[in-house]
Amino acid sequence: MSGHDAFPHAFSPFTIGSMTVRNRLVALPAGTSMVEQGIPTHGDVEHFERLAAGGVGMIVGGAIVVHPTTTLRSRKLVEAYQDDVVPALRDKVEVIHRHGAKFIGQLVHLGREFIGGESDQPPMAPSPLKTPRDAYPPHELTVREIDDIVEGWRVSTENLVKAGLDGVEIHAAHGYLVAQFLSPQTNRRTDAFGGSFDRRMHFAHLVIEAMRSVAPDDFVLGVRLSGEEEVPGGMGIDDCVRIAEDLAGRGVDYFSITHGTRGKYVKDASNPDAVAVPSAARVRAATGLPTLVGQRIRDVGTADHIVRSGHADLVGMARALIADPELPVKSATGRLDEIRGCLGINQDCRAFDPHLHCAVNAEIGRGRHPGYGVAVARPKQVYVIGGGPAGLETARVAAGRGHAVTLFEAEPQLGGTVRVAAASPHRATLIDAVDYLGRELRRLPVEVNLGAAIDADDLAEIRSLADNVVVATGSRPPALPAAPPGSSMVGVDDVLLGRVPEGVGRQAVVYDEADGFWPAYSAAEALARSGWSVQLVTALTALAPRVPAESAGPLLGRLAAAGVELVVGHRVVLAPDAPPTLRSAFGGAGHELAPALVVWHAPRVPVLLDGVRDAVDAGPGQAPLSVIGDCLTPRRISHAIAEGYRLGAEI
């Protein structure tokens, strides 16, 4: 059965204004930061071409700024107000249209928000009320400045029209400038732009009028709104519906409904799927206008259900299409098992270092390797030792090019360290990466040997048989220090895998030496959920600094709700035959602790086969040997997959 038969609603055409899209699937705004001086680069255009070729009906480009007062110092946001942007946008439109998709540009002024980047411009807002997310209170906009910003919306829209886009979307969600005018929490003005509901709507009305004055009748205009801002005192769904009803008669063609404000709207795996659907259904019923909904929607089956149920007319995805831009076409052709799923971990796609990347898709931000998918003239015998993400990705890519690949994994199942991480609270989706790679190895096919530990003698024999050998044997927890008197000592892995007793009311200390990533925090959460009284100590001066920003807040909130005591800038010091001591990382006296359980977290240790360090250079009659992933040095899943992808494409 094809996807068109299995998902008839998701793959049905739909008309917005005078524009017809081929299906109901939309690539939601997700900028690449592959932008120089405010102008998209070739890499940015390539990314959007990949989305269009993957089968979506419509693409809403990542936020495009409308005025010089809302630029970042990096100039990594597209700047629609400068005329020089038109040729690059025209190139993007051309490739998107060539693949049959429609392209909507999303225009935004950030107002008092600076999305984590420095700016040479002061923050500005309707009222001088500081956001908790940035350091400085905003400048209160004068009427003249407001008029100048509205003119920026007009010029920016005119440039999108010149570039040949199909329409434009006003970003009035996520607490940016338009939303700052709409909300009584952020708009305390007493002039024509604040006070009553009608006066708070005035700025949005002027923006729409300015945009419509330069847009042809067939140029689609949408508005993105937050159904729930999810901040104390923020706007909720009743406010959203009232705003949408007001705007519905002012030339708006569709609404895009989301939840949250900056720092809260990119939902990680701790959130349920499709969280904004009830809000979208309310807006659709109240306005009668086409409605687009997104946010943690990861598959076409969910999209089909949303459309079939009448909750929304269009269904958007962002991270799911970063993980696999071909998700729509694979779904349409019945290749569901070939879809690389989004893990919802926000780890690389939200770091922008220096631009968009993805933990599970090595091509995002790097481009497609010239060897990827290219059939080899002479297939080689490739042996991969290790079934974690690095070894699995190497095997997938190499086998996809026609090599004969054999993989050995010492454990009875694939996944390596990922299986431990996936046992963490709210992190179970990590195993999706392993499941996808396992399915791909069966499809290609790759010979997989489980429970097959390889020793030095085995390696020597393998090198005599193979054309290439890849060692990807991963990492292990470090050796633990001796347990202090009266306490038990375990590692993070022990906690996550359930190898500690129930501890209702008993005291546990989790010590994060200097990581700042998930393991120690996940162990603390798991213990607290099991009834332990938990103190988490870190030698770092910040809490969870390496956990993605959109995940750190919910994580720390859950720990606080569970009663976990969080101590920064301290060390847990162990001494023979003495209780552990809590001591400031900056010196001074400490005080003794008396925990029943100490969870010690230190960096993992590479696992290398005997002789590998001395065997990388091939001798006579020996196959070349490559070492990748955690056994080179322990890092993140994204590093392992990127190295496996690159090596598989180069063999």
For residue 65, give every residue at least 6 positions away whose Cβ sits within 8 Å of its Cβ, in sequence order, or none.
38, 71, 77, 78, 79, 80, 81, 107, 108, 109, 110
Residue 27 per-residue DSSP state: E
> What are the structure tokens assigned to 614, written together?
């001395």
Host H or E run for residue 406: strand 404-409
Q: How far apart are CA 431 and CA 422, in angstroms?
A: 6
Considering Cα of 349, then 108, then 118, then 232, what sign does the dihedral take? negative
Considering Cα of 116, then 118, then 124, then 129, what sign does the dihedral take? positive
| C-alpha pair distances (Å), 63 with each of 104, 108, 436, 611 | 11, 6, 31, 52
Is residue 176 part of the annotated active site? The answer reads: yes
Q: How far apart are CA 337 and CA 16, in angstroms?
A: 32
Burial of 121 (0-12, 13-18, 19+ CB in 10 A): middle
User: Within 13 A of 631's CA, how many CA atoms are on the CB side?
Assistant: 23
Q: Which of 151, 159, 154 is nearest to 83 (CA)?
A: 159
Q: Which residue has the tokens 């070939």?
A: 338
Which is the catalytic residue, given 81, 136, 176, 254? Answer: 176
Residue pair 431/418 in contact by the 8 Å Cβ criterion: yes
> What are the structure tokens assigned to 106, written together?
């999303």
For residue 113, give every residue at least 6 positions away whose Cβ sits within 8 Å of its Cβ, in sequence order, or none.
123, 131, 133, 134, 175, 176, 262
For residue 357, give every residue at least 6 positions away whose Cβ sits within 8 Å of its Cβ, in sequence order, or none.
348, 349, 351, 364, 365, 366, 638
Beta strands 167-171 and 475-476 are unpaired
| 281-302 b/e (C-beta count within 10 Å ≥ 16 → b) | bbbbebbebbbbbbbbbbbbeb
In DSSP terms, 223 is beta-bridged to: 170, 255
Residue pair 134/111 in contact by the 8 Å Cβ criterion: no
Q: How far apart are CA 225 and CA 313, in angstroms?
A: 16
Q: How far apart are CA 201 and CA 243, in angstroms?
A: 8
The catalytic site residues sit at 176
